[in-house]
């Protein structure tokens, strides 16, 4: 202000002599004097306005500021920039961690000590169909039950600070059966009480473990069955040989028998009448039939267990079907402790059926799976009005043979049919099936025999499996491991 006041005083002094030295002619004319004074006042007013505006617009330059203030301002700008960078990094880290959590197939749910949901990842959304916006803040017992998570267990886990785990929890029934691992992990934080609930689907792992155990059992049983078949075959051969000897010794057609009876003074005719009266020939026939059946079973078991039968050769499918039926009947009755019988079997075979180049043991394995599955389906369905029946057809279609196994059982839904040939898929209970029978059958027919296998079924009307086998192979089958 002092500067501007001096400038105004200097301007006033400079203007005053100019006014005093005005020509006398102008002063003499009194009409010009007011105009001169008015102009002088206007000029002074303009100068004052100009100086005032310049004062108002003038900003202090950096070099005029106090050095301490400049340093403080610089530090403040640097701190603000650092906070902005930190905030951006935190946001990026949060988004990255969120992407990691949401990319996991495991269900991850954050809960408070009271069981209220604080985090809900995409896997939980997909399983429950509930978005995170609707799940957050809700009780976990009201939004998630696969499997149910008790509130008491969450509170106990947080209180003890020790993780809670349960493995292979069965959830669902039939085709929807799943196995889940549950883990409740307390939060490691001195300020926040809560827990993280982890639910992982381990169905494939559990089924694979059980199938491996089942395979080991089947391998052991196969070796044991082959050994038992050999051991049974020896005394059975002795029984059948001695039975034939008994029949010969009681036959009236041999002169030695009559001579031996006469030597003992026993009329041979009376001896024959006595045996017929006591039904001894009928008993001997029963022993003969039972022994022949046992020998057939032993022969079938040996042929089924022999490795050399996996090689391809010309085979009579009708004979393979009959042998498979015999083996399936004995196996099913053994599994049910004789409480259930095989369904009624209808054979419909083409009399002009050609021999097929195939692996006898593998075709028997496929047939055994189909027949046992049909029999077990009847057993699980319970009583029905219709007589349980399995119809087996063999027909020729140009250079293929068609094998159909059809039953009038409970059938299956479209959902089950879509997964019927998938490994480890089963609709049976725990310990009843491994889910490998039909998948192995599909591989045997499709890959090893270059054929096809299809299924048609409707609930309540039965199921039909159709197998097409080429009469002759066009190329070698793929080598099997081991």
| Alpha-carbon span 112 to 140, nearest angstrom | 10
Do 375 and 226 share a structural domain? Answer: no
Do 264 and 241 share a structural domain? Answer: yes
Instruction: Encode 184-226 in three state secondary structure.
Output: EEECCCCCCCEEEEEEEECHHHHHHHHHHHHHHHHHHHHHHHH
> Residue 154 domain-assigned?
yes
Last residue within a domain, chosen from 289, 305, 321: 305
The enclosing domain of 333 has a CATH number of: 3.30.565.10
> Residue 164 domain-assigned?
yes
Q: What is the pLDDT of residue 2?
A: 44
Last residue within a domain, chosen from 305, 328, 356: 305
> Residue 10 domain-assigned?
yes
Do 388 and 239 share a structural domain? Answer: no
pLDDT over threshold 60, residue 476: no
Site of tokens 């079938």:
300
Do 185 and 117 share a structural domain? Answer: yes
Q: What is the pLDDT of residues 273-294, one digit of tens each?
A: 988 898 998 999 889 888 887 8
Residue 300 makes CB contacts below 8 A (sequence gap 6+) with 323, 326, 327
pTM score, two decimals? 0.46
Q: What is the mean pLDDT of the chain?
A: 78
**Ranges 3-7, 204-208, 308-312, 378-382: which has the least confidence:** 3-7
Do 197 and 167 share a structural domain? Answer: yes
Among candidate residues 111, 114, 154, the one with its CA nearest the CA of residue 136? 111
Do 194 and 235 share a structural domain? Answer: no
Q: What is the pLDDT of residues 114-162, one digit of tens each?
A: 889 988 888 888 888 888 888 888 888 888 887 888 888 888 888 888 8
Last residue within a domain, chosen from 158, 179, 201: 201
> Residue 14 domain-assigned?
yes
pLDDT over threshold 60, residue 32: no
Tokens of 233: 């075959």
The domain of 222 spans: 205-305
Do 215 and 125 share a structural domain? Answer: no
> Residue 441 domain-assigned?
yes
The enclosing domain of 191 has a CATH number of: 3.30.450.20
Do 23 and 156 share a structural domain? Answer: no
Q: How confident is the model at residue 7 (pLDDT cuts 50, 70, 90)?
A: very low
Q: How confident is the model at residue 469 (pLDDT cuts 50, 70, 90)?
A: very high
pLDDT over threshold 50, residue 8: no
Give exposure, 70-97, as e/b (b: 16+ Cβ within 10 Å). eeeeeeeeeeeeeeeeeeeeeeeeeeee
Q: What is the pLDDT of residue 308?
A: 41
Do 184 and 257 share a structural domain? Answer: no
Do 405 and 289 share a structural domain? Answer: no
Q: How many CB atoms lie within 10 A of CB 123?
A: 20
Do 409 and 301 share a structural domain? Answer: no
> Residue 70 domain-assigned?
no
Site of tokens 């024959």:
272
Q: Which residue has the higher pLDDT, 198 or 211?
A: 198
Domain count, the chain: 4
> Residue 76 domain-assigned?
no
| Alpha-carbon span 443 to 80, nearest angstrom | 68
> Residue 96 domain-assigned?
no
Q: How confident is the model at residue 214 (pLDDT cuts 50, 70, 90)?
A: low
pLDDT over threshold 70, residue 79: yes
Do 330 and 462 share a structural domain? Answer: yes
Q: How confident is the model at residue 433 (pLDDT cuts 50, 70, 90)?
A: low
Tokens of 155: 């509170």
């Amino acid at each position: 202000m002092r500067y501007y006041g001096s400038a105004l005083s200097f301007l006033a002094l400079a203007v005053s002599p100019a006014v005093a030295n005005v020509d006398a002619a102008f002063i003499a004319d009194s009409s010009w004097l007011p105009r001169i004074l008015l102009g002088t006042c206007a000029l002074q007013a303009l100068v004052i306005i100009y100086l005032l505006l310049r004062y108002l617009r003038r900003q202090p330059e950096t070099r005029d500021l106090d050095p301490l203030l400049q340093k403080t301002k610089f530090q403040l700008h640097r701190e603000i920039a650092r906070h902005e960078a930190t905030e951006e990094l935190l946001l990026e880290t949060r988004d990255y961690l969120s992407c990691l959590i949401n990319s996991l197939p495991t269900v991850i749910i954050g809960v408070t000590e009271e069981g209220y949901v604080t985090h809900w990842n995409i896997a939980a959304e997909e399983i429950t169909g509930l978005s995170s916006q609707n799940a957050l803040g809700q009780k976990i017992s009201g939004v998630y039950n696969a499997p149910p998570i008790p509130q008491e267990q969450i509170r106990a886990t947080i209180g003890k600070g020790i993780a809670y785990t349960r493995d292979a929890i069965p959830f669902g029934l039939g085709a929807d059966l799943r196995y889940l691992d549950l883990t409740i992990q307390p939060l490691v934080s001195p300020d926040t009480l809560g827990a993280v609930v982890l639910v992982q689907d381990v169905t494939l792992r559990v089924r694979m473990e059980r199938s491996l155990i089942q395979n080991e059992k089947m391998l052991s049983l196969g070796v044991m069955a082959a050994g038992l078949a050999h051991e049974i075959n020896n005394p059975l051969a002795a029984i059948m040989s001695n039975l034939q000897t008994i029949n010969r010794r009681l036959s009236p057609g041999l002169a030695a028998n009559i001579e031996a009876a006469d030597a003992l003074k026993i009329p041979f005719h009376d001896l024959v009448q006595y045996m017929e009266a006591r039904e001894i020939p009928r008993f001997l026939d029963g022993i003969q039939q039972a022994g022949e059946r046992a020998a057939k079973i032993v022969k079938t078991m040996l042929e089924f267990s022999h490795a050399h039968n996996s090689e391809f050769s010309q085979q009579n499918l009708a004979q393979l079907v009959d042998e498979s039926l015999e083996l399936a009947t004995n196996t099913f009755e053994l599994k049910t402790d004789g409480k259930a019988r095989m369904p009624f079997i209808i054979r419909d075979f083409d009399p002009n059926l050609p021999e097929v180049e195939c692996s006898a043991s593998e075709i028997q394995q496929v047939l055994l799976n189909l027949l046992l599955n049909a029999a077990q389906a009847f057993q699980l369905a319970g009583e029905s009005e219709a007589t349980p029946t399995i119809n087996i057809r063999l027909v020729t279609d140009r250079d293929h043979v068609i094998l159909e196994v059809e039953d009038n059982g409970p059938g299956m839904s479209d959902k089950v049919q879509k997964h019927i040939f998938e490994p480890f898929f089963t609709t049976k209970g725990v310990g009843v099936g491994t889910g490998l029978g039909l998948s192995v059958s599909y591989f045997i027919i499709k890959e090893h025999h270059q054929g096809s296998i299809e299924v048609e079924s409707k609930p309540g009307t039965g199921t039909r499996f159709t197998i097409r086998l080429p009469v002759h192979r066009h190329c070698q089958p793929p080598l099997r491991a081991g």
